């Protein structure tokens, strides 16, 4: 009876246990995503709650059409689950689909994690407040453009939390003819491999010259990088290479491009570039051979061990060789063809002698 | 209706892990019954049941393991682009080795092996290590797909973030060594082992 009760309780525990767990507590990773969570936990009213966080958006610089603009987002007073992960979306509408800024004419130059996604995940600091920055190229058409920040995160009570900022209007102004800026199709590199000091390629438009300032994250004094034009055009140059020193470990480097054209001098937002570990050098065929080699070696070792531990008595029962070699059958010159068995004290026929005569 | 290779791989892996949990619990159970001799009355029936369950579980797992490895290969798109993925290959090989040795031992020596204390300990340890290696390989899958695994909650974690990468020639040499060793081992140990029946 007791055994049945234990089994029943165990089964009930196993059935109930998954229900108390949470989906994707490790996050989903940075990507371009719509906020199309309508039917899932963060959007489902029965499973989610409104986030307690406060979201503020500020503009880093004036927005001109086609020019880079920094969007600073401050999330404060947030309570998260033990792993502290927050997911942040930058959106241009709250429709739930086709709501990425890129669907509304913006172009993502860099996200707060160094990539170029409209959705990022990050760890909330213990203070419960953090500021992150997206760098975008403004839409070509001037006027008012909406931006929203939507966040989601977990909690220690197993609930999914979701929050959205108020509408943030960015007034994009027309630009004078020939205003220099970053190229629309240029994406700032997120990482450079550790120790790589190859020059950084920068694409611009309408620029006759550029200046690149850089500094390590945490420093205050920027350094001027050497820049070189890579195109043969006489009037404007839009392909540049900047020599920024190599970084090691987990260092982030910040850099800012200033574009010039005649009297125009436009300071672009600061951009961030991380340091990536060297690429993994393993080959798939090496991994396969390595795997099967280990399999065969383990089998060989364990089968040898099994043979070694196999009971000695059983071996002796099957192996009669020792008995034969140890037997005390002694040939005699006086009686050829016969052997003297000293144990039973009697003569026995010698099979070898008989075989020899045949 | 098509199923993605990653989904198929997950489904197959679940079959393997489930079967292996059964096999491991029963193998360790057989060993415990032998070592502790809890109750004489039910021991025989219990031993027979657990022995058969462990054999059935491990055979099923061993049958599906190559499918899991193959579908994992396809899901990984024939790449070993990170230390995690490389280690997944290596742990899969270790799991295959331990489970094969477990099944070979049980089939060659018969159910009587549980009566021999040293063999019983060896067999249950093999099952436990096999399960650990299988869990490691599965957990790496979780790490790759979801960025987390069940092993995150344990205080220990076998190395997965760094891999002892061998060049192709070294892996190939190791594979040849493994094959030669296996041939010799089977050639020289086969005559020595007979089935041990229950006493």
- Per-residue pLDDT for A212 more than 90? yes
Per-residue pLDDT band at A262 (split at 50, 70, 90): confident
Q: Where are the domains of chain A?
A: 27-172, 181-276, 284-357
Q: With an 8 Å Cβ cutoff, are B101 and A29 in contact?
A: no
- Any idea what the Cα angle at residue A77 is, between residues A74 and A80, rounded to 5°? 105
Residue B198 has pLDDT above 60, yes or no: no
Q: Identify the CA nearest to A73 among candidates A88, A84, A86.
A: A88
Residue in A280, A288, A296 closest to B178 by CB: A296
Q: At what angle do helices B117-146 and B5-36 cross, to 10 degrees?
A: 150
Out of A26, A291, A299, name the one closest to residue B104 (CB): A299
How many CB pairs (< 8 A) connect A and B? 161
Q: Which of A175-184, A228-237, B97-106, B183-192 has the lowest mean pLDDT?
A: B183-192
- Of B31, B73, B86, B103, which to mutate for an interface test with A (greatest number of A Cβ within 10 Å)? B86
**CATH of span B5-192:** 1.20.120
- Cβ A272 vs Cβ A110: under 8 Å: yes
Lowest mean pLDDT among A126-135, A291-300, B29-38: B29-38
Q: Does the pLDDT at position A342 exceed 50?
A: yes
pLDDT-based confidence at residue A294 (cuts at 50, 70, 90) = very high
As a whole number, the mean pLDDT across chain A is: 81
Contacts of A304 in chain B (CB under 8 A): 185, 189
Tell if the CB–CB gap between B109 and A294 is shorter than 8 Å: no
Residue A125 pLDDT more than 90?
Answer: no
Residue A268 or residue A39, greater confidence: A268
Architecture, CATH, for domain A27-172: Sandwich (2.60)
Arithmetic mean of pLDDT, A254-261: 90
The residue ranges of every structural domain in chain B are 5-192
What number of other Cβ atoms are within 10 A of residue B162's Cβ?
10
Q: Which of A25, A280, A302 sits opposite B148 (nearest CB)?
A: A25
Q: Is B178 within 8 Å of A305 when comparing Cβ atoms? A: no
From A20's Cα to the closest Cα of chain B, the distance in A is 15
Cβ separation B100–A29 shorter than 8 A: no
B16: nearest Cα among B79, B95, B126, B103: B95
Best of B68, B93, B168 to mutate (most A CBs within 10 Å, chain A): B93
Cα gap A120→B127, rounded to integer Å: 42
For residue B21, the tally of other CB atoms under 10 A from its CB is 15
- How far apart CA A84 and CA A93 sit, in angstroms, is 27
What pLDDT score does A43 carry? 60
What residues contact residue A106 under an 8 Å CB cut-off, 6+ apart? Answer: A92, A136, A137, A138, A139, A145
Q: What is the mean pLDDT of residues A47-60?
A: 83
Kindly determine whether residue B193 and residue A285, on different chains, have CB atoms separated by under 8 Å: no
Q: End-to-end distance of chain A based on CA atoms, in angstroms?
A: 77
> Is residue B114 exposed (0-12), middle (13-18) or buried (19+ Cβ within 10 Å)?
buried
Alpha carbon distances (Å) from A177 to A61, A202, A206: 20, 21, 9
> Do the domains at A27-172 and A181-276 have one common CATH topology?
yes
Strands (E), A195-237: 200-205, 209-216, 223-224, 226-229
Within 8 A of B100 by CB-CB distance, chain A residues are 295, 298-299
- pLDDT reported for residue A18: 61
The arithmetic mean of pLDDT across residues B127-134, rounded, is 90
The C-alpha of B132 sits at a distance from chain A's nearest C-alpha, in angstroms, of 14
Residue A318 has pLDDT above 50, yes or no: no
The helix (H) or strand (E) run that includes residue A303 is: helix A284-309
Q: Range with the lowest mean pLDDT among A346-350, B40-44, B82-86? A: B40-44
- At the fourth CATH level, which superfamily is domain A181-276? Immunoglobulins (2.60.40.10)
Q: What is the ipTM of this complex?
A: 0.89
Chain A contact for B81, CB < 8 A? yes
Q: How confident is the model at residue A38 (pLDDT cuts 50, 70, 90)?
A: very low
Secondary structure of residue A262 in the 3-state scheme: coil
Question: What pLDDT is stored for residue A39 in this prediction?
Answer: 42
Question: Is residue B77 less than 8 Å (CB to CB) from chain A?
Answer: no
> pTM of this prediction?
0.58
Find tokens 């010799």 and name the residue: B184
In terms of DSSP bridges, do strands A160-164 and A48-50 run parallel, antiparallel, or are they unpaired? parallel
């Amino acid at each position: 009876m007791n055994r049945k009760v234990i089994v029943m309780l165990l089964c009930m525990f196993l059935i109930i246990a998954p229900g108390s767990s949470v989906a994707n507590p490790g996050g989903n990773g940075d990507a371009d995503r719509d906020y199309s969570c309508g039917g899932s936990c963060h959007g489902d009213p029965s499973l989610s709650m409104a986030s307690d966080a406060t979201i503020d958006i500020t503009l880093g610089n004036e927005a001109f059409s086609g020019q880079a603009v920094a969007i600073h987002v401050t999330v404060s007073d947030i309570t998260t689950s033990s792993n502290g992960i927050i997911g942040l979306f930058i959106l241009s509408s709250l429709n739930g689909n086709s709501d990425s800024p890129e669907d509304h004419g913006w172009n993502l130059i860099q996200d707060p994690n160094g990539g170029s996604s409209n959705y990022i995940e990050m760890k909330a600091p213990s203070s419960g407040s953090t500021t992150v920055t997206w760098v975008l190229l403004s839409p070509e058409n001037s006027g008012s453009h909406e931006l929203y920040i939507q966040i989601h995160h977990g909690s220690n009570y197993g609930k999914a939390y979701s929050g959205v900022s108020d509408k943030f209007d960015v007034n994009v102004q027309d630009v004078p003819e020939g205003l220099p800026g970053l190229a629309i199709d240029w994406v700032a590199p997120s990482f450079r491999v550790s120790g790589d000091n190859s020059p950084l390629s920068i694409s611009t438009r309408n620029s006759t010259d550029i200046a690149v300032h850089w500094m390590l994250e945490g420093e205050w004094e920027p350094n001027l990088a050497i820049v070189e034009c890579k195109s043969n055009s006489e009037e404007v140059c839009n392909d540049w290479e900047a020599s920024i020193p190599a970084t090691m470990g987990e260092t982030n480097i910040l850099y800012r491009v200033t574009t010039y054209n005649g009297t125009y001098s436009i300071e672009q937002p600061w951009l961030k570039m991380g340091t990536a570990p060297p690429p993994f050098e393993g080959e798939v065929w090496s991994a396969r051979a390595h795997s099967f080699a280990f399999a065969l070696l383990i089998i060989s070792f364990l089968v040898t061990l099994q043979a070694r531990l196999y009971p000695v008595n059983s071996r002796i029962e099957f192996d009669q060789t020792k008995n034969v070699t140890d037997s005390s059958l002694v040939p005699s010159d006086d009686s050829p063809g016969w052997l003297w068995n000293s144990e039973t004290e009697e003569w026995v026929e010698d099979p070898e002698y008989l075989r020899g005569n045949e | 209706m098509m199923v993605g290779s990653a989904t198929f791989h997950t489904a197959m892996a679940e079959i393997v892990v489930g079967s292996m949990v059964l096999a491991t619990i029963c193998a360790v159970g057989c060993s415990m019954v032998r070592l502790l001799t809890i109750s004489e009355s039910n021991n025989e029936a219990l031993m027979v049941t657990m022995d058969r369950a462990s054999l059935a579980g491990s055979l099923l797992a061993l049958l599906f393991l190559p499918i899991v490895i193959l579908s994992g290969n396809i899901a990984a798109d024939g790449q070993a682009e990170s230390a995690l993925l490389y280690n997944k290959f290596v742990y899969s090989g270790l799991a295959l080795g331990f489970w094969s040795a477990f099944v070979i031992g049980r089939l060659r020596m018969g159910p009587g092996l549980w009566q021999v204390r040293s063999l019983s300990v060896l067999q249950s340890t093999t099952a436990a290590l096999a399960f650990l290696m299988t869990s490691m390989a599965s957990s790496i899958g979780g790490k790759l797909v979801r960025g987390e695994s069940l092993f995150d909650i344990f205080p220990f974690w076998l190395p997965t973030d760094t891999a002892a990468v061998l060049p192709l020639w070294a892996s190939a040499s190791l594979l040849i060594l493994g094959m030669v060793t296996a041939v010799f081992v089977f050639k020289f140990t086969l005559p020595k082992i007979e089935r041990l029946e229950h006493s």
